[in-house]
Amino acid sequence: MSGELSLKGVGKSYRTWSSEWLRMASWFGLPVKPKEQNWVLANIDFHVGKGETVGIIGQNGAGKSTLLKIVTGTVRPDRGEIVRNGRVAAILELGMGFNPDLTGRANVVHAAGIMGMEHSAIMAAMPGIESFAEIGDYFDQPVRTYSSGMQMRVAFSVATAFKPDLLIIDEALSVGDSYFQHKSFDRIRAFREQGTSILFVSHGLSDVKTLCDRVILLDKGTILKDGAPDEVVDYYNAMVAVKENQALSIEQRRAKDGWLLTRSGTREVTVESLGLFDAGTQEPIRVASVGQRVELKLRAKVNDAIPRLVLGYMLRDKQGHVIWGTNTWHTKQLLTHLEQDDLVEYSLAFTCTLGPGSYSVSPALVSSDTHVENNYEWIDNLFVFDVINTSHSVFIGATWLDAEFDIRHLNRSVEQS
């Protein structure tokens, strides 16, 4: 089916040879052994269905870029099978294939020709490409005069000027201004709605969560996890700390309401309880009203003596977007020299200015401003609560503002009702 992609048992290695003669002999298929062979990808199996958007995440060196080059055909695998159906468009590296001495317009003609487009089709699409890139007179200047962001604009504009069956995007979209990033993601979403399959590599994990139907986690050249975006992204966040501290463990479970709870940590300090309370009555609540004064209370138990403790919070909406977050490192409220069996209660009072919807609280007990150094316990989506609007005028979005219209008729008096 057009737009589908399948990889079965794909592997790629890079070899070093003790002599050039042995290297040349390997080109002719002679049975010679390399001095060293490093497999950067091993036994990669996955399928991208028509209209499916799949994210690829992983730390630097995991094999992401090599995988995409294999998918696009710019690098050949040493083993395995790849099946691509339909027209493929790829943005792997800034200005890949651009001639720095040619203008942006000339490079568009060249790049689109490599994509297999007829000259007449390229000329017909040129006004739209120039308009989408929005680089003005630079479009007819040599590419060597471009900034990296301008190269990205032209590269993305030509790669997406003709609707592909499969669109492959690497980290290139992280370059440039936020305006063009938003514009690019709008086009990607439009392709997705029109049935284009998308393979998307990014370190922007919120984008991965929002855009993708499924996420694959690569680690040391193998697929470590393949599943729902929140499950894989939260696991990856916890895994970063695991690499720094082998004593750390990760567990995941999905609640009946759909929220995924991911718990990681070395357990020197653990969360005993977390809840939301009405600030006035101190009654526990699961539903808050817009404008209500509330308190978030967490009780932590110290299981082993530690020199320093920091509590951090992340507040997320149902789509996984981080609405707000901070920690006691930034508020300069560190606790030091905690002893075994100490109990600590944290209370955070605030006015609920959230929009109607469902929200989760993710606490992190750490030793500094990051969970990489010491992750005692991090629990994604531990506490979930709802917000309703009972006393304010109707509004949309994730935040209520105490905003009021001031309306003045400038040439005559009119009544307001």
How confident is the model over 295-349, as pLDDT tens digits?
Answer: 999 999 999 999 999 999 999 998 888 999 999 999 999 999 999 999 999 999 9
Domain spanning 247-388, CATH architecture: Distorted Sandwich (2.70)
Q: What are the structure tokens assigned to 168, written together?
A: 């492959």
More confident residue, 355 or 86: 355
More confident residue, 35 or 62: 62
Contacts of 396 (CB under 8 A, 6+ apart): 355
Q: Are 102 and 142 in contact (CB under 8 A)?
A: yes
Q: What are the structure tokens assigned to 6, written together?
A: 């399948």
Q: What are the structure tokens assigned to 109, written together?
A: 């003609």
Lowest mean pLDDT among 13-22, 124-133, 319-328, 372-381: 13-22
Q: Are 298 and 309 in contact (CB under 8 A)?
A: no
Lowest mean pLDDT among 253-262, 361-370, 379-388: 253-262
Q: What are the structure tokens assigned to 104, written together?
A: 């942006």
- Per CATH, 5-230 and 247-388 having the same topology is answered no
Q: Where are the domains of the chain?
A: 5-230, 247-388
State how far the Cα of 382 lies from the Cα of 74, in Å rounded to an integer: 44
Written as one letter, the residue type at 95 is: G
- Give the mean pLDDT of 284-300: 96
Look at residue 91 in the predicted model and tell me its pLDDT: 77
State how far the Cα of 371 lies from the Cα of 218, in Å rounded to an integer: 21
> In the predicted model, is pLDDT for residue 95 greater than 60?
no
State how far the Cα of 254 lies from the Cα of 259, in Å rounded to an integer: 6
Look at residue 250 in the predicted model and tell me its pLDDT: 85
Look at residue 174 in the predicted model and tell me its pLDDT: 65
State how far the Cα of 108 lies from the Cα of 235, in Å rounded to an integer: 40
> In the predicted model, is pLDDT for residue 246 greater than 70?
no
* CATH number for the domain whose boundaries are 5-230: 3.40.50.300
- Stated as kind and residue range, the H or E segment containing 262 is strand 260-265
Question: What rounded mean pLDDT belongs to the chain?
Answer: 88
- Share above pLDDT 70 across residues of the chain, in percent, rounded to a whole number: 92
Confidence of residue 239 (pLDDT cuts 50, 70, 90): confident
Confidence of residue 176 (pLDDT cuts 50, 70, 90): low
